[in-house]
Amino acid sequence: MVSVPQYTLAQPVPIRTDMEARKAGNGHKIAEDRTPGGPAAFDRIGPRVKAMLQVARYHGVELDPNEFRATAEGSFPTASDLSQWAQNAGMWSRALRIRWSHLLRFEHAGPIVLLFNDGGAGLLVGASAEHNLVFLKSVDASDDADALPIDELRLAQVWSGEAVLLRAARSHVAADAPFTFGWLIDLVRLESRPLRDIGIASFTLSILTVLPPLIVMTVVNKVLQFSSVSTLVLLSAVIAVVFVYETLLGHARRLIVNVVGTRLDTKLNLHVFGRLLRLPLDYFERHPAGETMYHLAQVYRIREFLTGKLLSTFLDLITLCVLIPVIFYINPILAWMVLACAVVIMATIFAFLAPLRRHYQRVVDAETLKAAALGETVVGIKTVKALGLEPQRKAMWDERVADAGKARLAFGQLANWPQTLVTPIERVMVLGTMLIGAYLAMNDRSGYMVGSLFAFMMIAQRVAQPLVGLARLVEDYEEVSAAIGEAASVLNRPLESSSNSAGLRPRLVGEIKFSDLTFSYIGTKTPALDRVSFDVPAGTMFGIVGRSGSGKSTIARLLQGINRDYSGFLKLDGVDLKEINLRHLRQGLGVVLQDNFLFRGSIRDNIIAGRPGLTLSDAMRAAQLAGAAEFIERMPNGYDTYIEEGSPNLSGGQKQRLAIARALIHDPTILILDEATSALDPESEAVVSANLMRIASGRTMIIVSHRLASLTECDQILVIDQGKVLDVASHPVLLERCAVYRQLWFQQNRHLDGRHGRLAAVPSRPD
Ligand SMILES: Nc1ncnc2c1ncn2[C@@H]1O[C@H](COP(=O)(O)OP(=O)(O)OP(=O)(O)O)[C@@H](O)[C@H]1O
């Protein structure tokens, strides 16, 4: 990609930026080149995003244009938006303003993105300080095209210094690595610079901590014994300075700890949500939402441990490193006593670790069941109310709460024991040393022992705390490792694809081929699809029909790449579906299910669904096609009408038409309607069916339905039973030769005349 011409005396050439090129007509070519059904947003966002994609690819990272979010809609992406996008994808990136002299230093560096004043962009792929030239490539240039030599004057006409640097992150915590304590420590280690600052501040604070006791010792031993006022004044001045330093350093340390805590929190949140979105649908089908949410909530306890207990113990250890030598210096006998008490405290806590772990696991299990019951009740509240199941749900909840309460009580009672046993030892550590110190002072002839005892007592307090804290840390770690286990039970599931960037991104046309495909769901013995083979030519309408449980939806699932562990082949335009990048595949697909979830927000937002580069006019076009425009326009606020989560303010038919508009807005190459019209009232079905031909034009349509009347216009209809293909042909042919199809047809259309006429809702196909 970085092919700088070898001729060093290259003549600078004028620059025509991408935007100018577009205006001059190249833009048409790009628009025509757009992969049908592919990421429409790619071209709409323009050259700046393209430039970023190319530089990222140079560094081996595939950025996803759909994850790009510009701050201001309609304006050009800014350098900081672009840089943020790359950072979110785990790359190192900086948005900067660069001077020409600085550009000349990028002689051998990788390509960088220059943002032109007109919204375009170019790639700087080399520089020659000797000839005062830089080498630029257009974002639309082919990989083997030579870069153009440009001088300062020409560049200044189109560029005012904005650039984005990016490269693969050096110490990037792998997004795919398992979620373990080691992974968390790696995450903390990424904050090495602020941690180092905190360490230095803590070390200095520890030294400052030692000073007041030593000063007290000097006051008692020297000032009081010899009435030295000058020493007292000097010591007062030292104490004042120490206090100021202590206050300032303490303030700075708390600030940095806060920053590190917030950064870790942010990174954890991003990671957890990113992983959650990449879990396969299978996982969500097998685990109640409440359970998943409870497990993930544990991440916040882990964060608190990392930035609270762990960090403060780490800081205390620094303090200990300073204080322990000092107490040994002041009095070794008393120092040994302190250490001996600390060892006994640790041994006591360690003795309880194993039983505590067992009890805590019971708490976790009981809480998980409780959370699952709560989640299930909230999600299924309509059914609970409709069937009057409140008493049963309440009884179940009571039981779960009681179980969780019992487990917590047992854990709390056991956890009380180490606390009870440790408290007297802690007291011995402080008061016992004082008594023994007093005894030693009485027998001391030098007269210095009193001052030393004061100093020792002051420091011993500070030593005892971190030593006990260190032992408690182990106890807390047990709880946190259980929390890590819970979060890991969700986050460490096999992800949908090993990486977002993996896989091919072929141009999708819409030809589908199943060959000898067999697939069984995990935990089932009989295959859901058994040696299924059929072809769907691009741009045709393909119906799938069969009894309940025959495998219709499974075919739709496999097409979406939800399950990939089948045998045989499933090919899209001749490319094995397993090899296709999942996100690319799904961008080429539109799917409408029987029950579609609409998010909280305006109708327009729901149709656009956050896809970048799409506007109200795109939403209107999709709504028109889906037959939704007419009812949206009748609503009080039109496209700005607000829908609540789950869309209670819309009828089933309206919801469904919105879902079709949402699936159509990015102009998918393949549209899958999986029982999309089955639950509609005849009027709504008629509206959708009336638009079906328009919707189908230029794309492959897969219509799964148990209502044969909605499939009669399909080019081919697949009849499936118990996972096996019975026949594939058009409606009239199937009526003639497929007994199961004929039987289904007559069952459903007894009211029609003997000529099996078409239902009014289904329009005739234009010849
Ligand atoms: N997630 C799943 N886990 C296990 N088995 C499943 C799962 N989904 C479907 N099955 C089983 O696979 C078989 C085919 O199911 P599929 O949903 O494809 O049938 P269908 O023809 O779409 O049925 P319906 O018309 O009732 O929706 C059924 O026996 C079903 O029990």
Per-residue pLDDT reduced to its tens digit, 43-57: 456 888 889 988 888
Measured between its terminal Cα atoms, the distance across the chain in Å is 50
Residue nearest to atom 29 of ligand 1 (CA): 549
Domain annotation covers residue 599: yes
Candidate ranges 13-22, 39-48, 232-241, 658-667; pick with highest mean pLDDT = 658-667
* Lowest-confidence segment of 82-86, 221-225, 342-346, 632-636 by average pLDDT: 221-225
Nearest alpha-carbon partner for 47 in 36, 38, 55: 55
Of residues 113, 128, 121, 120, the one with CA closest to residue 57: 113
Question: Which among 655, 713, 706, 647 has a CA at the least distance from the CA of 680?
Answer: 655
Question: How sure is the predictor about 764, in pLDDT bands with cuts at 50, 70 and 90?
Answer: very low
Tokens 């929190």 map to which residue?
265
> In this structure, is residue 205 part of a structural domain?
yes
Residues 146 and 202 in one domain: no
Q: How far is the centre of ligand 1, averaged over its atoms, from the C-alpha of 529 (Å)? A: 10
Going from the Cα of 549 to the center of ligand 1, the distance in angstroms, rounded, reads 5
Q: What's residue 499's pLDDT? A: 43
- CA quadruple 730, 731, 737, 738: dihedral sign: positive
389-426 confidence digits (pLDDT tens): 888 899 999 999 999 999 999 988 998 888 888 888 88
Least confident of 183-192, 223-232, 283-292: 223-232
Tell me which amino acid residue 371 is. A
- Cα–Cα distance, 409 to 221 (Å, whole number): 53
- Exposed (0-12), middle (13-18) or buried (19+): which is 186, by Cβ within 10 Å? middle
| CA 554 to ligand 1 center in whole angstroms | 6
User: 108: helix, coil or strand?
Assistant: coil
Q: What are the pLDDT digits (tens) for 555-579?
A: 999 999 888 889 999 999 989 988 8
Cα–ligand 1 centroid distance for 545 (angstroms): 13
Nearest residue CA, atom 3 of ligand 1? Answer: 521
Ligand 1, atom nearest to 523 Cα: 4
Residue 760 lies in a domain: no
Q: Are residues 91 and 153 in the same domain?
A: yes
Instruction: Report if residue 511 sits inside a domain.
Output: no
Q: Quick one: pLDDT band at residue 719, thresholds 50, 70, 90?
A: very high
Closest residue by Cα to atom 31, ligand 1, is 549
Residue 572 maps to a domain: no
- The yes-or-no verdict on residue 758 having pLDDT over 60 is no
Query: Which of 259-268, 518-527, 639-648 has the highest average model confidence (pLDDT)?
Result: 518-527
Q: Which two structure tokens, joined as six digits, stand for 378?
A: 């909230």
Residue located nearest, by CA, to atom 4 of ligand 1: 521
For residues 246-271, average pLDDT: 82
Q: What separation in Å is there between the alpha carbon of 709 and the centre of ligand 1?
A: 22
The verdict on residue 652 lying in a domain is yes
pLDDT of residue 756: 45
Region 231-251: mean pLDDT is: 80
In a shared domain, residues 353 and 295: yes
Distance 676 CA to ligand 1 centre (A): 16
Are 609 and 615 a contacting pair, CB within 8 Å? Answer: no
CATH of the domain at 191: 1.20.1560.10
162 and 199 belong to one structural domain: no
**pLDDT tens digits for range 544-561:** 998 888 899 999 999 998
Q: Per residue in 82-121, pLDDT tens? A: 888 887 776 788 888 988 888 888 877 778 899 988 888 8
Closest residue (by CA) to atom 11 of ligand 1? 528
| DSSP per-residue codes, 613-677 | T--HHHHHHHHHHHT-HHHHHHSTTGGG-EE-TT-TTS-HHHHHHHHHHHHHTT--SEEEEESTT
For the chain, give the mean pLDDT: 80
- Residue closest via CA to ligand 1's atom 26 equals 548
- List the CATH number of the domain containing 122: 3.90.70.10
- Give a yes or no: residue 549 inside a domain: no
Give the range among 77-81, 286-290, 653-657, 754-758 with minimum mean pLDDT. Answer: 754-758
Q: List, in order, residues 6 or more apart from 147 with CB less than 8 Å away.
A: 2, 3, 4, 5, 123, 125, 126, 135, 136, 137
Of 285, 518, 521, 566, the residue with max ligand 1 atoms within 8 A of its CB, to mutate for a pocket test, comes to 521
User: In the listed set 634, 667, 700, which residue is the last one of a domain according to the structure?
Assistant: 667
Q: What is the pLDDT of residue 733?
A: 92
* Same domain flag for 45 and 135: yes
For residue 30, the model assigns a pLDDT of 35
Is it the case that residue 593 has pLDDT exceeding 90?
no
**What digits encode the pLDDT tens for the residues 328-386?**
888 888 889 888 888 888 888 888 888 888 888 898 889 888 988 898 888 888 888 88
**Whether pLDDT at 26 is above 50:** no
Total domains present in the chain: 3
**Beta carbons within 10 angstroms of residue 93's beta carbon:** 23
Share of the chain above pLDDT 70, in %: 86
Whether 485 and 458 share a structural domain = yes
Which of the residue ranges 470-474, 617-621, 635-639, 651-655 would you say has the lowest mean pLDDT?
Answer: 470-474
Please name the residue whose Cα sits nearest to atom 20 of ligand 1: 549
- pLDDT tens figures, 666-681: 888 999 998 887 767 7
| Residues 213, 151 share a domain | no
Q: Average pLDDT of 129-141?
A: 85
Instruction: Specify whether 191 is located in the same domain as 131.
Output: no
Average pLDDT over residues 640-662: 81
| Residues 130 and 223 grouped into a single domain | no
Binning pLDDT at 50, 70 and 90, where does residue 141 land? confident
Q: Which of 284, 518, 524 to mutate to test the pocket of ligand 1 (most atoms within 8 A of CB)?
A: 524
Nearest residue (CA) to ligand 1, atom 12? 528
Q: Distance of CA 626 to CAs 321, 612, 619, 694, 696, Å?
A: 71, 21, 10, 9, 11
Give the residues surrounding ligand 1 with Cβ less than 6 Å away: 285, 521, 524, 528, 546, 548-554, 706
For ligand 1, atom 25, name the residue with the nearest CA.
548
Tokens coding 518:
């067999």
Residue 202 and residue 164 share a domain: no
Task: Please give the number of the atom of ligand 1 that sits closest to the Cα of 556.
Answer: 18
Both structure tokens of 277:
């979105």
Per the domain annotation, does 532 fall within a domain? Answer: no
Checking if the pLDDT of 208 tops 90, the result is: no
Domain that includes residue 610, residue range:
592-667
For a ligand 1 pocket test, name from 286, 552, 674, 705 the mutation site with the most ligand atoms within 8 angstroms of its C-beta: 552
In this prediction the pTM is: 0.66
Res. 212 pLDDT band, cuts 50 70 90: confident
Which pLDDT does position 170 carry in this prediction? 53
Among 33-37, 469-473, 486-490, the range scoring the smallest mean pLDDT is: 33-37
Mean pLDDT, range 1-29, rounded to an integer = 46
53-to-72, 140, 142, 501 alpha-carbon distances in Å: 20, 12, 14, 12
Residue 619 Cα to ligand 1 middle (Å): 33
Sorted by sequence, the CB contacts under 8 Å of residue 241 that are 6+ apart come out as none
Quote the pLDDT of residue 767: 40
| 639: CATH | 3.40.50.300
Task: Based on the fold, state whether residues 295 and 374 are members of the same structural domain.
Answer: yes
What's the pLDDT band for 537 if we cut at 50, 70, 90?
A: very high
Whether 434 contacts 453, CB under 8 Å: yes
User: Domain boundary residue among 474, 491, 508?
Assistant: 491
CB atoms < 10 A from the CB of 752, how many?
14
What's CA 332's distance to the chain center, in Å?
A: 54
Q: How much is the pLDDT for 25?
A: 45
**Angle 507-509-512 from CA coordinates, rounded to 5°:** 115
pLDDT at 9: 41
Q: Which residue has the higher pLDDT, 391 or 235?
A: 391
**384 CA distance to ligand 1 centroid (A)?**
25
Pair 292, 356 in one domain: yes
CA of 594 to the centre of ligand 1 (A): 14
Q: How many CB atoms lie under 10 A from the CB of residue 444? A: 14
Ligand 1 atom with the shortest distance to the CA of 526: 29
Q: What is residue 468's predicted lDDT score, i.e. its pLDDT? A: 72
Burial 523-551 (b: 16+ CB within 10 A, else e): eeeebbbbebebebebbbbbbbbbeeebb
pLDDT confidence of residue 646: 64
Contacts of 85 (CB under 8 A, 6+ apart): 52, 63, 67, 68, 69
Domain end (from 168, 203, 229): 168
**Among 45, 11, 16, residue whose Cα is nearest residue 30:** 45
Q: How far is the CA of 124 from the centre of ligand 1 (A)?
A: 54
Q: What pLDDT, on the 0 to 100 scale, is given for residue 5?
A: 45
Ligand 1 pocket test, candidate residues 553, 560, 721, most atoms within 8 A of CB: 553
Nearest CA-CA partner of 100 in 157, 152, 163: 152
Partners of 535 in the beta sheet?
Answer: 513
DSSP 396-447: HHHHHHHHHHHHHHHHHHHHHHHHHHHHHHHHIIIIIHHHHHHHHHHT-SSS
* Spatial distance between the Cα atoms of 200 and 206, rounded to a whole number of angstroms: 10
